[in-house]
Amino acid sequence: MTAPASAERFEERRQDEPSRPDDVRNPFERDKGRVIHSAAFRRLQGKTQVMGTSEGDFHRTRLTHSIEVGQIGEGVLLKLSRTIADPVARAWLPDRSLVLATCHAHDLGHPPYGHDGEVAIHAKMTDDDGFEGNGQTLRVLTRLEKYRARGVGLNPTRRLLLAVLKYPVPYSLARPHVPAGSERPPKCYMDTERETVDWILAPFSAADRDVFTALDGAGRASFKSFDCSIMDCADDIAYAVHDLEDAIGRRMVMREQFEAAIAAAGPALDFDALVRLGLSLDRETLQAQLFSTASHDRKQAISALVNFFVTHVALVEVPELTHPLLRWNAALPPEARALCDFLMEFTQRNVVRTAEVVQLRRKGRRLIAAMFDEFLTAPEELIPRSFWEGLDPDDSVRRRICDYVAGMTDAYAERVWRRLFEPGYGNSTDEL
């Protein structure tokens, strides 16, 4: 059997860089710094996580979510580092800075208005390689963000790009499997990034590449890398617990709804088994603390849930793949996974899919669609020159408009829409 590609291959960058004087950081520490100091990372403070950024100043945005994912990802890494027995898996555990860089970068490509913004942009890009937020993250990191020169993004390491490659399947292969009538884009990367993905996967054997990029029976990506699986666990935990915390804190959900949902889940959600597994709160205590009028009680319940999930992430083997970065994954065991899925679905059903929230989300869709169509009429005149001239002229006009719109914050998108369509709004010295 051929020896797996060395760790040094995954520290490589596509563009050679001279070393800075006296810089003692390793490649992943430099990746982390570039992500944190990027404009795309700062813009996450103005992008919707679950509730709109204009609804208040306390609930999570994409930025605070990403920071929390990083903190949880650190906890997952620490837990694995102290419990993994397999020496090969231990040797390939990611660097702490790599985990933070991955978690902080994982949502950089997501557009304004959350998944509704994603749906709106994809509708305009369906016949031009589509649009998917995770796929756009690759473009931000390797093309759009400014660091050394135009067109190379942050020039990150191969391993960071592998870690954010959540769905290693191109749009052209995933699109035929989208169910009829579905508005959501397939989980994929855009075909514009094929060359980048080929470079990311180059160190792996041909057999590993073929398996890793294969579709499952439903036309979805089957596999994630080791580092990506750690980030994905942390992302799910943050979404399941902290977005629920926001909903409870804003009184968008009540205890009666939560109790009814648990009852409806039936045997699929076995709290006795969860307590035996290590959950420090039984069903009644968890409910009482989550919905207590004392915020410190709620925080204790939230902390107990996060601790339970983080301390139960385990190493699983993926026998279809051979390289350690692909053969090992982090995952929640079935009982913990069931609770995590329940909490995510509860927030989706009782917050995200309610009429009060859907009405606001739909407004974001219409706003993006109208702007996109207007930009198509005269993109070089309507899009700021500093942005337009920094894009790749080999990309289609639609793709370049897509990059501009996807990078907007919620508030910026609203201001631009008003400048375009609201009589009397805006002036020639507005900041664009």
Q: Beta partners for 221? A: 215
C-alpha of 104 from chain center:
9
Q: Is pLDDT at 54 greater than 60 in this prediction?
A: no
Nearest to 185 by CA among 129, 111, 132, 133: 132
The predicted model gives 395-406 an average pLDDT of 97
| Cα gap 302→430, rounded to integer Å | 43
Residue with tokens 């076995």: 270
Q: Is pLDDT at 396 greater than 70 in this prediction?
A: yes
pLDDT at 185: 93
Q: Is residue 23 classed as helix, strand or coil in its secondary structure? A: coil
Q: Is pLDDT at 80 greater than 80 in this prediction?
A: yes
pLDDT at 50: 63
Mean pLDDT of the chain: 92
Residue 238: what residue type? A
Under the banding of pLDDT at 50, 70 and 90, the label for residue 52 is: low
Under the banding of pLDDT at 50, 70 and 90, the label for residue 156 is: very high
Under the banding of pLDDT at 50, 70 and 90, the label for residue 55 is: low
Q: Is pLDDT at 59 greater than 70 in this prediction?
A: no
Under the banding of pLDDT at 50, 70 and 90, the label for residue 53 is: low
Strands 328-331 and 314-317: antiparallel
Question: Where is average pLDDT lowest: 37-51, 173-187, 326-340, 408-422?
Answer: 37-51
Q: Is pLDDT at 64 greater than 60 in this prediction?
A: yes
List pLDDT tens digits, range 162-176: 999 999 999 999 999
Domains in the chain, CATH or no CATH each: 29-224 (1.10.3210), 228-355 (no CATH), 356-421 (no CATH)
Q: Is pLDDT at 2 greater than 70 in this prediction?
A: no
Helices (H), 154-203: 158-164, 171-174, 194-201
List pLDDT tens digits, range 222-277: 999 999 999 999 999 999 998 888 888 888 889 999 999 999 998 888 888 899 88
Nearest to 30 by CA among 97, 96, 95: 97
Nearest to 120 by CA among 401, 420, 432: 401
Helices and strands per DSSP (H, E), number in the chain? 23, 2
List pLDDT tens digits, range 101-150: 999 999 999 999 888 999 999 999 999 999 999 999 999 999 999 987 78
